Amino acid sequence: MANSIEDLEALPPIDMLEDDGITLEGIQEEMIADYQDAYLQYTGEEVTLYPANPKRLELGVIAGQIYQAYEFASYLFNQNFIRYMEDDVLWNWGANLGFAGSNLRAASCVLEFGMNEALDYDVEIPAGTRATAGDDIFFATEESGVIPAGSLAVEVRAFCTEMGSLGNDYVVGQINLLADSVVHVSYVRNIDISAGGGDEYSGDELREKVFLFPSTYSVAGPQDAYVYYTKLFSKDIIAVNVETDKETATVEIYIMLAGGIIPDKAYCDNVLDYLTSLKKFPDTDKVVVLPPEAVPFELEAVYYISSSNKDTEKTIRESVEEAADAYIQNQYESLGYDINPDIFVEYARVAGAKRMEVASPSYQKLEANQIAICTGKNIIYGGLEDN
- Rounded mean pLDDT for each run of 10 residues along the chain, 387 residues in total: 64 90 95 95 92 93 96 94 88 81 84 95 96 96 95 95 92 95 95 86 80 64 78 85 84 89 90 84 80 95 94 94 92 90 94 94 94 94 91
Query: H-helix or E-strand containing 383?
Result: strand 370-385
pLDDT of residue 103: 76
Nearest to 303, CA basis, from 229, 355, 361, 349: 355
Whether 298 and 369 share a structural domain: yes
Nearest to 83, CA basis, from 7, 2, 18, 3: 7
Whether 133 and 183 share a structural domain: yes
93 belongs to a structural domain: no
pLDDT of residue 5: 65
Whether 186 and 226 share a structural domain: no
307 belongs to a structural domain: yes
- Alpha-carbon 242 to chain mean position: 18
210 belongs to a structural domain: no
Whether 283 and 299 share a structural domain: no
Whether 305 and 270 share a structural domain: no
- Alpha-carbon 186 to chain mean position: 40
Whether 304 and 315 share a structural domain: yes
* 8 Å CB contact between 286 and 250: yes
Whether 235 and 305 share a structural domain: no
- Four-residue CA torsion sign, 179, 185, 191, 196: negative
* 8 Å CB contact between 276 and 253: no
pLDDT of residue 220: 47
Close Cβ partners of 380 (under 8 Å, ≥ 6 residues apart) = 301, 302, 303
If 0-12 CB within 10 Å is exposed, 13-18 middle and 19+ buried, where does residue 71 land?
middle
Give CA–CA dist 298/300, Å, rounded. Answer: 6
Total of domains in the chain: 4
Whether 276 and 309 share a structural domain: no
Range of the domain at 279: 218-291
Q: What are 267-275's contacts with CB under 8 Å, separation 24+?
A: 267/192, 267/193, 267/195, 270/108, 270/192, 270/195, 270/196, 270/233, 271/230, 271/233, 271/237, 274/196, 274/232, 274/233, 275/226, 275/229, 275/230, 275/233
pLDDT of residue 282: 64
168 belongs to a structural domain: yes
Give CA–CA dist 374/325, Å, rounded. Answer: 10
Whether 301 and 263 share a structural domain: no
Give CA–CA dist 84/102, Å, rounded. Answer: 21
- Cα Rg, the chain, nearest whole Å: 30
CB atoms within 10 A of CB 125: 21
Give CA–CA dist 202/85, Å, rounded. Answer: 11
Q: Is the peptide bond before 361 cis (omega within 30 degrees of 0)?
A: yes
206 belongs to a structural domain: no
203 belongs to a structural domain: no
195 belongs to a structural domain: no
269 belongs to a structural domain: yes
Whether 122 and 158 share a structural domain: yes
Which residue, 267, 291, 315, sits at the end of a domain?
291
* 8 Å CB contact between 155 and 147: no
pLDDT of residue 370: 94
Whether 118 and 181 share a structural domain: yes
Whether 299 and 364 share a structural domain: yes
pLDDT of residue 284: 65
